[in-house]
């Protein structure tokens, strides 16, 4: 899987005899939890969707709409209140083995006591790879995310953008079939964000992982994705599904300059802001 370069259709071919078409399916998912005061809050109202292998999907929605809860539930870290999540035909009950969640607060998720290399190797160790070749794989990944030369550094020595890359490399080392990303670029400065968007797209093209991406940045979602699901305010439901028509590889200048780009952006923006106002 690593190191393969392919020309880039935006859907990978679907196995002919697979018993399931979608790699991930969410069926009537809802999630409520008890707040500190004691009342039940509904974070997710009713969400159903299907994701096909190799797709890049984004969820966009107003802040506080339960996006993180949604991702945590899909990742099996939270149990749904009702409905189900099905990954590769199996219902999710606890973290599924071929899926990894990349947390929003990456600095809290990286292991401070391991170097960059150590963190990436953790991803390999987690899938049981302690072989001699593991070190090389780790090195390749570190180079892929553009951190060559920083292998022996510790997370605190790196900038936010670099830390996020380490987290991504660690997740990819696990070779997940589905990668969930919770606002990964949210706390980075604008230029770093653009850089990482492109790096991510390159990695995705190489590795053909399915990616579910959460962001509050509408333009980022349009730029990156094949499809977008627009979420309502909580309790969240899918207000709209949009297909993104732009060809790949995308370009920060050309794609964003396209007239349709702005049109999509405005459409989504209006939909969200109409929701947000009381």
Stretch that binds other proteins, among 1-9, 53-61, 107-115, 228-236 (CB under 8 A): 107-115
187 sits near other proteins (criterion: CB under 8 A): no
> What string marks each residue from 159 to 178 as x (binds other proteins by CB under 8 A) or -?
---------------x----
Nearer to other proteins, 86 or 126 (CB): 126
Q: Give residues with Cβ within 8 angstroms of 16, minimum separation 6.
A: none
Number of Cα atoms under 13 Å in the Cβ half of residue 129: 16
Nearer to other proteins, 129 or 195 (CB): 129
Among 95, 149, 245, 249, which residue sits at the site for other proteins (rule: CB under 8 A)?
95
Give Cα separations from 42 to 70, 204, 264, 276 (angstroms): 11, 33, 29, 16
Nearer to other proteins, 116 or 188 (CB): 116
Hey, which residues between 115 and 134 contact other proteins (CB under 8 A)? 115, 122-123, 126-127
Q: Please, what is the minimum distance in Å from the beta carbon of residue 276 to other proteins?
A: 27
- Which among 21, 29, 23, 60 has a CA at the least distance from the CA of 242? 60
157 sits near other proteins (criterion: CB under 8 A): yes
At 200 the three-state DSSP class reads helix
Among 109, 209, 232, 236, which residue sits at the site for other proteins (rule: CB under 8 A)?
109
Instruction: For Cα atoms 195, 105, 62, give the angle at the middle one, nearest 5 degrees.
Output: 80
Among 37, 63, 113, 191, which residue sits at the site for other proteins (rule: CB under 8 A)?
113
- Which among 25, 101, 22, 34 has a CA at the least distance from the CA of 68? 101
- State how far the Cα of 72 lies from the Cα of 138, in Å rounded to an integer: 26
Among 13, 63, 108, 190, which residue sits at the site for other proteins (rule: CB under 8 A)?
108
Stretch that binds other proteins, among 153-161, 233-241, 247-255, 257-265 (CB under 8 A): 153-161
Hey, which residues between 34 and 93 contact other proteins (CB under 8 A)? 72, 75-77
Give Cα separations from 159 to 98, 105, 153, 154 (angstroms): 29, 14, 11, 11
Nearer to other proteins, 100 or 200 (CB): 100
Kindly report the number of other CB atoms within 10 A of residue 276's CB atom. Answer: 13
- State how far the Cα of 163 lies from the Cα of 228, in Å rounded to an integer: 27
Q: Please, what is the minimum distance in Å from the beta carbon of residue 151 to other proteins?
A: 14
- State how far the Cα of 25 lies from the Cα of 70, in Å rounded to an integer: 13
Q: Please, what is the minimum distance in Å from the beta carbon of residue 154 to other proteins?
A: 5
Q: Are 216 and 60 in contact (CB under 8 A)?
A: yes
Q: Please, what is the minimum distance in Å from the beta carbon of residue 68 to other proteins?
A: 11
Which residues would be at the binding site for other proteins (CB under 8 A)? 72, 75-77, 95, 97, 99-101, 103, 105, 108-109, 111-115, 122-123, 126-127, 154, 156-157, 174
């Amino acid at each position: 899987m690593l190191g393969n370069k392919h020309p880039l259709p935006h859907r990978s071919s679907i196995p002919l005899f697979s018993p399931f078409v979608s790699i991930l399916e969410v069926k009537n998912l809802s999630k409520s939890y008890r707040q500190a005061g004691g009342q039940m809050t509904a974070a997710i109202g009713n969400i159903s969707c299907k994701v096909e292998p190799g797709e890049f999907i984004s969820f966009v929605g107003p802040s506080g709409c339960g996006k993180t809860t949604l991702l945590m539930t899909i990742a099996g870290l939270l149990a749904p209140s009702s409905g189900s999540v099905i990954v590769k035909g199996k219902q999710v009950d606890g973290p599924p083995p071929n899926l990894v969640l990349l947390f929003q607060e990456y600095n809290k998720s990286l292991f401070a006591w391991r170097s960059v290399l150590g963190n990436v190797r953790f991803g390999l160790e987690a899938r049981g790879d302690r072989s001699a070749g593991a070190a090389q794989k780790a090195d390749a990944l570190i180079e892929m995310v553009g951190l060559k030369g920083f292998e022996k550094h510790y997370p605190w020595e790196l900038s936010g953008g670099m830390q996020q890359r380490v987290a991504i490399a660690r997740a990819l080392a696990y070779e997940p079939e589905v990668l969930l990303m919770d606002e990964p670029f949210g706390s980075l400065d604008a230029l770093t964000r653009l850089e990482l968007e492109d790096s991510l797209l390159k990695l995705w093209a190489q590795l053909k992982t399915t990616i579910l991406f959460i962001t509050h940045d509408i333009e980022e979602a349009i730029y990156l994705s094949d499809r977008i699901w627009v979420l309502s305010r909580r309790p969240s439901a899918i207000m709209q599904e949009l297909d993104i028509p732009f060809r790949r590889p995308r370009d920060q200048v050309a794609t964003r300059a396209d007239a349709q780009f702005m049109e999509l952006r405005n459409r989504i923006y209006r939909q969200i802001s109409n929701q947000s106002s009381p």
